[in-house]
Amino acid sequence: MALALCLISVAVGVAALSNIRPITDQPVAITCAAQNILQGTDPYTTYEPQCYRQVNYPPTGTTPLQSGAFASLSHYPSDAATTRVLLHDEATDQHGGFPAYGYPPEAALTVLPVAFSGWRLISLWVALCCSLLLLLIWRRRLPNQLLFLAWQLLGLSLLLSAFGWNPEYVAYLVLALSFARIDQVQVSAVTLAIAVCANPLCWLAAPIYLAATHHEYAWRQRVNWFVGSCALGIIPWMIWDHHLLSQLWRFVTMPEFPLGAAIGQFSHLPNHGHAIYTLAFLLVIALATATAWFSSKWRWAMVPLVYLAFIVSWRGPLYYYLPAFWLTPAVLAGIYQLRQARSRQKPAAHSDQTERGHSQERHRQL
């Protein structure tokens, strides 16, 4: 069955990649940012209408905000209204109802080598990066390895069929590699930092990851490698753009419309009244972190809690749930690796304790 799922997933993925044009605005924004970097322009000064004009892309899959032309709306605007406002902003060089680029610094580096190569080559580049990362994740032997691989391929094929190719998938797989190699302190910490410096959804994983490894070997070393790698990924950009942190904060706090399978979608609060849902989301993430921190036996429970966090949030589109589903096999594999490492340490600790006891007994006899 696992082999059949692998074959079906590969077939769906190949079919999805045959449509090389992006479906959502993330590939457009990230490609635009990569082009700006190569041209020596600060990508955080480019708003979505200007980005679409720069890459000569039709106005589809954009993210309208509760501001500008949409400030008076309490529901998601129609595609026709969004297209009309976007074309107007492109023509007049305005950006009232759309976000500026706000992804972490390393997001644009994903497509930097192929930024001006056209959508076909960019999509193939992303597919190649994803394939290499999948190989790195599952090249070691694990129980039910083929089933986990089939699970992750199924998640990837669902993402491709629903949302097309996306450079963000590379960051998600780097995060998956961090959990899959969680027993390798340096490799795991550095790959987690790369994911955090490339995608905002990966920020949620950092406290949960550090909590899950708190009682494991060389935790301080793990934290040092993570913090140092994050600093190497962010400080050079802060030197170039002194307002980087405020621009990332602007992106996180932008007034988005409620969307998807989340409680906020059914809310009757006035515009910008989603602070309570953001607080509920953060509380559930804190609960997942606390679960991973205080109980090594219940670390697996952090996975369903992440799903719950999206349910109680302001926005819970399918695009959030599918990456979580996609990452789950690697997280479970990481938990298994930690258990194996702990089980190997217990006999070693017992033998050391026994040896010390024998030494003390011989010393007393002498």
Please tell me the distance from the alpha carbon of residue 153 to that of residue 249, in angstroms, as a whole number. Answer: 33
Examine the pLDDT at 348 and tell me if it is beyond 50: no
Examine the pLDDT at 350 and tell me if it is beyond 50: no
Give phi and psi for 316, each to the nearest 5: -140, 60
Please tell me the distance from the alpha carbon of residue 155 to that of residue 173, in angstroms, as a whole number. Answer: 11
Residue-wise burial string across 267-298, b where 16 or more C-beta atoms lie within 10 A, e elsewhere: eeeeeeebeebbebbeebbeebbebbbeebee
Please tell me the distance from the alpha carbon of residue 39 to that of residue 57, in angstroms, as a whole number. Answer: 19
Please tell me the distance from the alpha carbon of residue 192 to that of residue 182, in angstroms, as a whole number. Answer: 10
Q: How confident is the model at residue 174 (pLDDT cuts 50, 70, 90)?
A: very high
As given in the structure block, the two tokens for residue 275 are 């602070």
Of the chain, the end-to-end C-alpha distance in Å amounts to 65
Residue-wise burial string across 167-194, b where 16 or more C-beta atoms lie within 10 A, e elsewhere: bbbbbbbbbbbbbbbbbebebbbbbbbb
pLDDT given at position 8: 57
Please tell me the distance from the alpha carbon of residue 362 to that of residue 352, in angstroms, as a whole number. Answer: 15
Which is nearest to 185 in space by CA: 294, 337, 345?
Answer: 337
Query: Which residues, including other chains, have CB under 8 Å from residue 262's CB and lie 6 or more apart?
Result: 277, 310, 311, 312, 313, 314, 315, 316
Examine the pLDDT at 149 and tell me if it is beyond 80: no
Least confident range from 24-33, 167-176, 329-338: namely 329-338
pLDDT given at position 320: 73
Angle at 125 between CA 63 and CA 6, to 5 degrees: 90
pLDDT given at position 186: 92
Sign of CA dihedral 20, 21, 24, 29: positive
Angle at 161 between CA 79 and CA 166, to 5 degrees: 75
As given in the structure block, the two tokens for residue 78 are 């129609």
Please tell me the distance from the alpha carbon of residue 192 to that of residue 210, in angstroms, as a whole number. Answer: 10
Residue type, 182: I
Higher pLDDT, 249 or 37: 37
Average pLDDT for residues 189-201, to the nearest whole number?
Answer: 92
Please tell me the distance from the alpha carbon of residue 179 to that of residue 133, in angstroms, as a whole number. Answer: 13
Query: Which residues, including other chains, have CB under 8 Å from residue 234's CB and lie 6 or more apart?
Result: 104, 105, 197, 244
pLDDT given at position 273: 56
Average pLDDT for residues 171-179, to the nearest whole number?
Answer: 90
Higher pLDDT, 163 or 179: 179
Higher pLDDT, 345 or 82: 82
Average pLDDT for residues 260-287, to the nearest whole number?
Answer: 70
pLDDT given at position 58: 82
As given in the structure block, the two tokens for residue 132 are 């290499």
pLDDT given at position 197: 92
pLDDT given at position 328: 82
How many alpha carbons fall within 13 Å on the CB side of residue 107?
Answer: 28
| Sequence ranges of the domains in the chain | 2-46+100-137+144-346
Please tell me the distance from the alpha carbon of residue 97 to that of residue 85, in angstroms, as a whole number. Answer: 8
Please tell me the distance from the alpha carbon of residue 114 to that of residue 238, in angstroms, as a whole number. Answer: 24
Please tell me the distance from the alpha carbon of residue 130 to that of residue 297, in angstroms, as a whole number. Answer: 32
As given in the structure block, the two tokens for residue 265 are 């979608």
CA R_g for the chain: 23
Least confident range from 5-14, 55-64, 104-113, 321-330: namely 5-14
Region of 68 please: left (phi>0), alpha (psi -120 to 50) or beta: left
Would you state the torsion angle of the CA atoms of residues 112, 202, 343, 301, taken in this order, to the nearest 10 degrees? -150
Over residues 53-66, the pLDDT tens digits come to 888 888 777 888 88
Average pLDDT for residues 170-177, to the nearest whole number?
Answer: 90
* Helix residue spans in 139-262 (DSSP H): 145-163, 168-180, 185-196, 205-212, 219-240, 244-252
Average pLDDT, the chain: 78
Over residues 86-103, the pLDDT tens digits come to 888 878 777 778 888 888
pLDDT given at position 62: 82
Examine the pLDDT at 17 and tell me if it is beyond 90: no
Examine the pLDDT at 20 and tell me if it is beyond 70: yes
